[in-house]
Amino acid sequence: MLRQTKLRRVLRAATTILVACFAGVNGGNAVIWLASLSLLVLGVVMVSLAMLLVVQQRRSPQSAAAWLLFILLLPYVAIPVFLALGFRKQSARFPPIRFGPMRQVMPTPQPVAKALLAFGIPAASDGNGLVLHFTPEVACAALFRTIAQAKIRLDITFYLLDDDASGRDFIEALIERALAGVAVRLILDRLGALHRPKAALGRLCAAGGEVRYFSPFLHRVGNGHLNLRNHRKMVVADLADVWAGGRNIGNAYLVKGQDWIDLSFNLQGPAVQSYVDMFSADWDVIGAAHGALIAQNAPVGTVTAQLVPSGPDTPDDALHDALVCAIHRAEHSVWLTTPYFLPTEALLQALGTAARRGVDVRIMLPQRSNQWVADLARGAYLRDLHAAGCGILRLRQGMLHAKAGMIDDMAWVGSVNFDVRSMLLNFESALMLYDAATVTALRDWFGAMEPRCAQGVVRSSLPRRFVEGVFRLGAPIL
């Protein structure tokens, strides 16, 4: 069987020939018959190659069936879409993260930590210091303090950087550090950075900072990673202090009174090494390798933590599969908060089964998010889970952008939404937390949010339910 990379090359070549045939059709009557025959033959070849690629990839049966049907019904539309969007794991393009050694490894990991370890995720570590940011003003102060205290290097990744006061202040802080001799490296996702402060970024580069854009729009036809966005959010200062979570850089995330609810944190200690490794992998992917970096961080606190990256640079779907396992194993409670809810079938089944087993399952999300498409897509899933006994909590006012969860005596917080794109496509990260004090703090925050929420699902009209069903059928193509 041909390797997938070879099949992609053949499919790209066939696409090029097909374009030439179209040109021949328009070039004169003498070649119309030959061009028509070529179009037919090439169409059959391209459909066959595309279908072979689909069934070779590691996908759910629903996803494979959806792609195959799309290619059969609309081949000249589906094949270009598949070439641009249809590839998930590309080891040649996104090699696995190389994790460095980490001190103070957790001696008796919990079941979730053990499962993640089996997927190649670094072990959970004791002795970390963690400060959660529940308000934008606390998060903003911690962010600028982390930057200002850097003496040697700042390694930064963000999906979105707004061209507003917060975004410009952020870049000004980086310029000040760069002029002071600090090595500043900034990764921005090309899609999320569409409305970036371009003039300020230019001055950062002039001051000695380096700015790189992840996954630009212009790719070769068969690169297949236009939809693989880097959604990670982190600032790593001097390989010792991490500011991370769900917040991007902008007024909505960092200014009080914006009606935007989010979570972030600062982390110190042995677990910082995994953030260093993750940034290094992202920086290497965009052609700017700087070698392995080892963070010599001694224990500084009592928090037990384990960073779990997900995306094309992880060979398996460790985060997704570990969460499925943890929900099935849950004995008491599963509490989730996410802005967008479009789960995989495995996660949907795990949540519904847990609720039917008597587990206290609660899902908190915004009444109306900033993405109307996501709101339409979630309806059918929420109705199914509500019928199974899950508690649905809808924040009445404001945008809930926090991404966190608590399952019995463990929790996580990070950049990953509870949807198929975050779990299986994007470059994401989640910090798993296993100590009682941190889990309790997140539970207390969740409990304080509940009075601000309406309970249950909203009654939907027949036309809306039809549209929601269409979205649900199309979800596996992602």
The domain boundary residue, chosen from 249, 274, 300: 300
Q: Residue 179: is its pLDDT beyond 80? A: yes
User: Is residue 311 a part of any domain in this protein?
Assistant: no
Does residue 134 share a domain with residue 53?
no
Give Cα separations from 438 to 267, 279, 414, 433, 443 (angstroms). 12, 25, 14, 7, 9
Does residue 332 share a domain with residue 291?
no
Does residue 324 share a domain with residue 283?
no
The band of 58, judged by pLDDT with boundaries at 50, 70 and 90, is low
The band of 2, judged by pLDDT with boundaries at 50, 70 and 90, is very low
Does residue 66 share a domain with residue 187?
no
Q: Residue 447: is its pLDDT beyond 50? A: yes
The band of 474, judged by pLDDT with boundaries at 50, 70 and 90, is low
d(CA 180, CA 175): 9
User: Is residue 396 a part of any domain in this protein?
Assistant: yes
Does residue 270 share a domain with residue 333?
no
Among 161-165, 279-283, 341-345, 374-378, the minimum mean pLDDT is found in 374-378
The domain boundary residue, chosen from 85, 112, 145: 85
Question: CATH no. for residue 184?
Answer: 3.30.870.10
Relative to beta strand 453-455, strand 391-395 is antiparallel
Q: How many CB atoms lie within 10 A of CB 287?
A: 7
The domain boundary residue, chosen from 59, 85, 111: 85
User: Is residue 462 a part of any domain in this protein?
Assistant: yes
3-state secondary structure of 132: strand
- Tens of pLDDT, residue by residue over 209-246, are 999 998 765 555 444 466 788 999 999 999 999 999 99
Look up the domain containing 290 and give its range.
128-300
Q: How many CB atoms lie within 10 A of CB 58?
A: 12
Does residue 64 share a domain with residue 169?
no
> Residue 249 has what DSSP assignment?
B
Among 205-214, 282-291, 293-302, the minimum mean pLDDT is found in 282-291
Does residue 332 share a domain with residue 277?
no
Residues of the chain above pLDDT 70, percent: 79
The total domain count for the chain is 3
CB 386 within 8 A of CB 392: yes
d(CA 360, CA 391): 8
Does residue 147 share a domain with residue 233?
yes
Does residue 328 share a domain with residue 463?
yes
CB 270 within 8 A of CB 124: no
Does residue 324 share a domain with residue 289?
no
Does residue 271 share a domain with residue 145?
yes
CB 103 within 8 A of CB 125: yes
User: Is residue 112 a part of any domain in this protein?
Assistant: no
Does residue 181 share a domain with residue 216?
yes
What pTM did the predictor assign? 0.85
